[in-house]
């Protein structure tokens, strides 16, 4: 490390990154702080002021909300991404978006180093660094929570608080916080603290984005979501008849009504990439509505075997995104395949919002494979029922041969 080398620090304004800022200065770095606005409820000016107070040479605040929605959240809806069948990847999707802005800032300022405050046990260290190396191969990464000197000096929050007080860094953190929070325009995640016990019920006052379903309106609320090539292109409020067409406006509207009904809450134990299991509580109101609507239209429009193949690729892509491989050969290939599967996913879905959940009520598409006459129980519609006899016989051969060779199935 050369004296006054520039380092771009992914800065949040919290205890960890404020102490890291000062520690980097002690190491001889010129520190540039970078804050990405991905839609979190944060006082950016206060964070900027704090960074300068801690000795930052420059503070960059970059609004990437629209980029996040259009180029990460929307493709995730199109691809139907969901990790381990429940988690809609709100944090995972934000990391490549933030990384792009981080790398652009580092290159424009001539910074050879990028630093972050992600813990050595979590996924974010992998996500940020994998993205940074893919976009900026020659970059050097500083991860203090994996640095021997830093870890010997700071065992945890108590040591950081003491260091902050010694160095005049404003401290709002308490020695034992009840949980940690990560927020963006798609979701809020909660983990750590009291949530580390998977048998501890999350308190009602934890949630910030959604209302308690027990206190939600009892009257159902209906919205209509329009899709083109699997991407949301319009949302209609069927009560006020207002329409929303910009991706960020669609998401904000659905977050608002979904939050009012307490939609999108999950409490899970998930498998981190580093091999640990962790407990996370998430709330994703608008994303949950969009995911459910897209899934319903997709089954309606897609050929059966395309849907099954697509589902396998979707699960693979969900793992790539969760693990931090948004920018990787396998993710680029898989995404192109998934986008191709969405060529005919065009139409609209009426969704009904109820306390704690949402469900599709009706769907329509000009290109659906659903043939009402062919499927009708009232007319044959070109389908010859007698043909099913041979179909059933051929499909039963495997079962009858198994029974012949190994004995009859037990009832």
The domain locations on the chain are: 6-176, 181-302+344-364, 375-406
Alpha-carbon Rg of the chain, whole angstroms?
A: 25
pTM: 0.94
Closest by CA position to 316, among listed 303, 335, 343: 335
Q: Which residues are catalytic?
A: 16, 95, 124, 180
Tens-digit pLDDT profile for the chain (411 aa)?
Answer: 455 899 999 999 888 999 999 999 999 999 999 999 999 999 999 999 999 999 999 999 999 999 999 999 999 999 999 999 999 999 999 999 999 999 999 999 999 999 999 999 999 999 999 999 999 999 999 999 999 999 999 988 889 999 999 999 987 655 555 888 999 999 999 998 899 999 999 999 999 999 999 999 999 999 999 999 999 999 999 999 999 999 999 999 999 999 999 999 999 999 999 999 999 999 999 999 999 999 999 999 999 999 999 999 999 999 999 999 999 999 999 999 999 999 999 999 999 999 999 999 999 999 778 888 778 777 777 788 888 999 999 999 999 988 989 987 777
6-176 belongs to CATH 3.30.300.130: no
The DSSP H or E segment spanning 224 is strand 221-228
Q: Which helix (H) or strand (E) holds 231?
A: strand 231-237
Q: Which of 125, 133, 73 is nearest to 97 (CA)?
A: 73
Q: Look at residue 337 and give its three-state secondary structure.
A: helix
Q: Kindly list the distances between the CA atom of residue 95 and the CA atoms of 103, 223, 233, 322, in Å, as whole numbers in the listed order.
A: 12, 30, 24, 10
Cα–Cα distance measured from residue 295 to residue 291, given in angstroms and rounded to the nearest whole number: 6
Listing DSSP states for 20-47 in one string gives HHHHHHHTT-EEEEEEEESS----HHHH
**Strands 30-37 and 58-63: what pairing?**
parallel
Annotate 110-175 with DSSP letters as a single string: T--EEE----TTSSHHHHHHHHHHHH-TT-EEE-GGG-HHHHHH--SHHHHHHHHHHTT------S
Residues 349, 352, 357, 360, CA torsion sign: negative
The answer to whether domain 181-302+344-364 has CATH 1.10.150.120 is no
Phi and psi at 350, nearest 5°, equal -90, 120
CA atoms in the 13 A half-sphere facing the CB of 18: 27
């Amino acid at each position: 490390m050369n004296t006054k080398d520039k380092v771009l620090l992914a800065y949040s304004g919290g205890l960890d990154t404020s102490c890291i800022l000062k520690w980097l200065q002690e190491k001889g770095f010129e520190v540039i702080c970078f804050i990405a606005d991905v839609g979190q409820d944060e006082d950016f000016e206060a964070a900027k002021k704090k960074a300068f107070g801690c000795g930052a040479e420059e503070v960059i605040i970059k609004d990437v909300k629209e980029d996040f929605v259009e180029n990460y959240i929307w493709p995730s809806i199109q691809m139907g991404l969901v990790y381990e069948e429940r988690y809609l990847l709100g944090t995972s999707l934000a990391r490549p978006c933030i990384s792009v802005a981080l790398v652009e800032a580092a290159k424009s300022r001539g910074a050879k180093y990028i630093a972050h405050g992600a813990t050595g046990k979590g996924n974010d260290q992998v996500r940020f660094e994998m993205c940074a190396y893919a976009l900026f191969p020659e970059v050097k990464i500083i991860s203090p929570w994996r640095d021997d000197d830093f870890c010997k000096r700071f065992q945890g929050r108590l040591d950081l608080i003491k260091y902050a007080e010694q160095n005049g860094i404003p401290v709002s953190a308490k020695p034992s916080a009840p949980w940690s929070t990560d927020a963006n325009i798609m979701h809020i995640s909660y983990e750590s603290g009291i949530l580390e016990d998977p048998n501890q019920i999350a308190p009602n006052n934890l949630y910030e984005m959604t209302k308690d379903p027990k206190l939600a309106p009892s009257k159902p609320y209906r919205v209509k979501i329009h899709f083109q090539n699997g991407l949301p292109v319009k949302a209609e409020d069927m009560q006020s008849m207002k329409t929303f067409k910009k991706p960020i406006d669609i998401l904000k509207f659905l977050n608002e009504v979904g939050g009012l009904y307490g939609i999108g809450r999950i409490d899970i134990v998930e498998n981190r990439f580093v091999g640990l299991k962790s407990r996370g509580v998430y709330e994703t109101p608008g994303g949950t509505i969009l995911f459910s609507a897209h899934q319903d239209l997709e089954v309606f429009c897609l050929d059966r075997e395309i849907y099954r193949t697509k589902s396998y690729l979707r699960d693979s892509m969900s793992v790539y995104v969760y693990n931090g491989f948004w920018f990787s050969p396998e993710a680029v290939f898989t995404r192109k395949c998934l986008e191709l599967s969405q060529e005919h996913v065009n139409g609209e879905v009426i969704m009904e919002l109820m306390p704690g959940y949402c469900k599709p009520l009706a769907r329509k598409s000009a290109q659906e494979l659903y043939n009402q006459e062919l499927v009708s129980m009232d007319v044959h519609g070109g389908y010859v029922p007698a043909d099913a006899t041979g179909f059933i016989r051929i499909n039963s051969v495997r079962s009858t041969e198994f029974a012949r060779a190994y004995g009859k199935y037990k009832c």
